[in-house]
Amino acid sequence: MRDATGIARRGLLAFAATAGIGAARAQSFPDRPLRLVVAYAAGGTGDLVGRLVGEALATRLGVPVVVENQGGAGGAIAARAVSRAAPDGHTILLAGNAIFAILPHMANVGYDPVAGFTPIANISESQRLLAVRNTLPVTTLAALVAYGKANPGKLNYGSSGIGSTLHVMTEMFRREAGFEAVHIPFRGSAPGVQAMLGGDVDFMIDTVVIQHVQQGRLRGLAAVGDRRLPQFPDIPTLAEQGYPNVRTSGWQALMGPPGMNPSTVALLAGHVEAMLRDAAFVERLGRIGVVPSYRSPSQLADDLAEDTRQFGALIRSAGITAE
């Protein structure tokens, strides 16, 4: 009995010591600048969100936050780097659901989309618009589909990268509409939109196109989401125009390496929740077409699992590949 009691006491002491170490580590976080790896090229919506978040986190944490763009391979390079980083909270990732729920179904990305990360907090949802270049002879979505059917293979569309949410959404729409179009992937949204403004890309689904439609430089044909965009109340959604089966979920979240201290995760998540309640921060997000949408670590984990399941099934059924 004495031995058993001694073992139990030693176990409790060991647990207490471990817990104490974990608490001490959490209390010392952050003890140096944070590295925020953004899985998008500079200039696009994801990059702009990353810079706003980095600035707000730096203010709240009291340490610099270095934003590092790694937009190659559809964001897989950024995700892989963070999944292999030390789990001390000083290296975190800003990425969209495609990097976790879509790309791993299409390529060997070198990371586990679920076990390879620690969910921290969802930040935003994206408002998206399907837009065409002004010189394309179509003014409605129905006309775009008719043009595509009458000119097989003549149309092309841009995306922010192979395996991106925008790639899969556009491919799903194209297949459901029944016309051919060539996919032109770019390293981020900004270069794709610039190519469309230059007349080299015919149409694109993205957030970045919104400002150019407002300025009359591109033509908007469909809102891509559950509702019409407040900036364009007269532009119907894809569902309203006969395409209800095109999945339009798109979110951006903070993720960390696997094995992060729960206290560190809670601290970061709390700061994200607070910044999304800040009217000035929300207004800045709105300027770039981004809707704030806080989700806790556990809610984000549930969203990730559901998106992985749904997008995986859609990709398999539609036969979408990385080629």
Give the pLDDT of residue 27: 65
Give the pLDDT of residue 38: 97
Question: Do 167 and 96 contact (CB within 8 A), yes or no?
Answer: no
Give the pLDDT of residue 233: 95
H helix count then E strand count, the chain: 11, 11
Residue in the structure block whose two tokens are 């979110």:
251
At 240-294, the pLDDT tens digits run 999 998 877 688 999 999 999 999 999 999 999 999 999 999 999 988 878 899 9
CA 159 to chain centre: 14
Mean pLDDT of the region 48-71: 96
Upstream peptide bond of 30 is cis (omega within 30 degrees of 0) = yes
Give the pLDDT of residue 202: 99
At 157-184, the pLDDT tens digits run 999 887 778 888 898 899 899 999 999 9
Separation CA 323–CA 314 (nearest Å): 17
Question: What single-letter DSSP state applies at residue 237?
Answer: B
Q: Tell me the backbone φ, ψ of residue 208, rounded to 5 degrees.
A: -65, -25
Q: Tell me the backbone φ, ψ of residue 108, rounded to 5 degrees.
A: -85, 100
At 189-201, the pLDDT tens digits run 889 999 999 999 9
Domains and CATH numbers, the chain: 9-125+250-318 (3.40.190.150), 128-241 (3.40.190.10)
Query: Quick check: 25 pLDDT over 70?
Result: no
Query: Quick check: 323 pLDDT over 90?
Result: no
Question: Do 167 and 180 contact (CB within 8 A), yes or no?
Answer: no
Give the pLDDT of residue 125: 83
Query: Quick check: 58 pLDDT over 90?
Result: yes
At 104-120, the pLDDT tens digits run 988 889 999 999 999 99
Region of 43 on the Ramachandran plot (φ > 0 left; ψ -120 to 50 alpha; else beta) = left
Separation CA 240–CA 228 (nearest Å): 10
The first and second tokens of residue 186, run together, are 């770019």
Q: Which amino acid is at 134?
A: N
Closest CA to 68 of 274, 105, 59, 77: 77
Give the pLDDT of residue 98: 86
At 215-238, the pLDDT tens digits run 999 999 999 987 898 889 999 999
